[in-house]
């Protein structure tokens, strides 16, 4: 495994690789969720590249850019079986004269985009740049950030990338809590309260089995459950998985998306019905 810091060097190397390149973009502080993406990349590709870059442009000014958990040494250990870690510096990615931004319209403005208005512009821009740098044939993303997955599928399609986007299942703790680097912010009691996200999603699944399909009714019940455990709901939405359109009744293979504040920590999760 090689650690590459320079954009030009990474670009030169990736252009010369003879075989399929699988790419896993990350912001570091890796957990089993990230490693499941690496595992998928290994299965499908000849070379695996993981980027570690806490992308400032996807954080709003009031968000946790400075406190976002980082542990490069531990990440390197966890990635010993890949080919390249791309670890660029901020100045190399966003030099002083940087001016180009990618906006995936409409679907970026919904859900997380409402409370984090410039977030997906930052995500789309960095992933677009990274794909150009690492020359990826396959891009592996977790379904936990479901809206991000749909936004990036749209971007790669609209901009004629050769890259195929592969969504991988959410990895959960035994308790049901979806793995996230931001779980580090949770105290012991908040961790328990955070289980309400998964419980609420399960409730929607059970309701669907029992024929309770009205979206509004499901959303209200989920909201009550979360609030009883001290969570503050940012949004709960029931959507068509393909186009992110809200639907009034639950149906097979639709998605339920939620974002909840557990004290100051904003967590997202979702489930396929």
User: What amino acid positions are annotated as catalytic residues?
Assistant: 34
Q: Does 128 bind ligand PAF (CB under 6 A)?
A: no
Task: Give the contacts of 108 (CB within 8 A, at least 6 positions apart).
Answer: 119, 120, 121, 124, 151
Stretch that binds ligand PAF, among 80-88, 122-130, 170-178, 204-212 (CB under 6 A): 122-130
Mention every residue, 6+ apart, whose C-beta is less than 8 A from residue 101: 57, 121, 125
CA–CA separation, 183 and 185 (whole Å):
5
Backbone angles phi, psi at 61, to 5 degrees: -55, -30
Q: Which of 4, 13, 27, 244 binds ligand PAF (CB under 6 A)?
A: 27
Nearer to ligand PAF, 26 or 36 (CB): 26
Is 25 an interacting residue with respect to ligand PAF (CB under 6 A)? yes
Least distance from ligand PAF to the Cβ atom of residue 144, Å: 8
Restricting to residues 40-59, name those near ligand PAF by CB under 6 A. 55, 58
Contact 112/259 with Cβ under 8 angstroms? yes
CB 15 within 8 A of CB 135: yes
Shortest distance, position 224 Cβ to ligand PAF, whole Å:
30
Among 49, 50, 85, 127, binds ligand PAF (CB under 6 A): 127
- Residues of the shown chain interacting with ligand PAF in the complex, contacts defined by CB under 6 A: 25-27, 55, 58, 123, 126-127, 145, 148
């Amino acid at each position: 495994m090689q650690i590459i810091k320079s954009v030009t060097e990474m670009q030169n190397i990736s252009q010369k690789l003879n075989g399929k390149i699988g790419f896993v973009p990350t912001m570091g502080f890796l957990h089993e969720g990230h490693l499941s993406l690496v595992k998928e990349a290994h299965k499908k590709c000849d070379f695996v590249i993981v980027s570690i870059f806490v992308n400032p442009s996807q954080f709003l000014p009031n968000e946790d850019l400075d406190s976002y958990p980082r542990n490069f040494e531990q990440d390197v250990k966890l990635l010993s079986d890949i080919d390249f870690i791309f670890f660029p510096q901020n100045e190399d990615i966003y030099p002083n004269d940087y001016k180009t931004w990618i906006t995936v319209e409409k679907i970026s403005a919904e859900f997380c985009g409402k409370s984090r208005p410039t977030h997906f512009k930052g995500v789309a821009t960095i992933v677009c740049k990274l794909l150009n740098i690492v020359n990826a044939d396959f891009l592996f993303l977790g379904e936990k950030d479901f809206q991000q997955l749909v936004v990036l599928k749209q971007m790669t399609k609209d901009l004629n990338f050769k890259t195929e986007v592969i969504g991988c299942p959410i990895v959960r703790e035994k308790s049901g809590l979806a793995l996230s680097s931001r779980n580090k912010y949770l105290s012991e009691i908040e961790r328990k309260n955070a289980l309400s996200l998964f419980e609420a999603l399960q409730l929607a699944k059970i309701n669907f089995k029992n024929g309770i399909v009205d979206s509004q009714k499901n959303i209200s019940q989920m909201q009550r459950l979360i609030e009883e455990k001290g969570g503050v709901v940012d949004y709960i939405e029931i959507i068509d998985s393909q186009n992110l359109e809200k639907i009034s009744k639950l149906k097979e293979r639709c998605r339920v998306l939620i974002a909840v504040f557990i004290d100051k920590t904003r967590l997202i999760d979702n489930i396929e019905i």
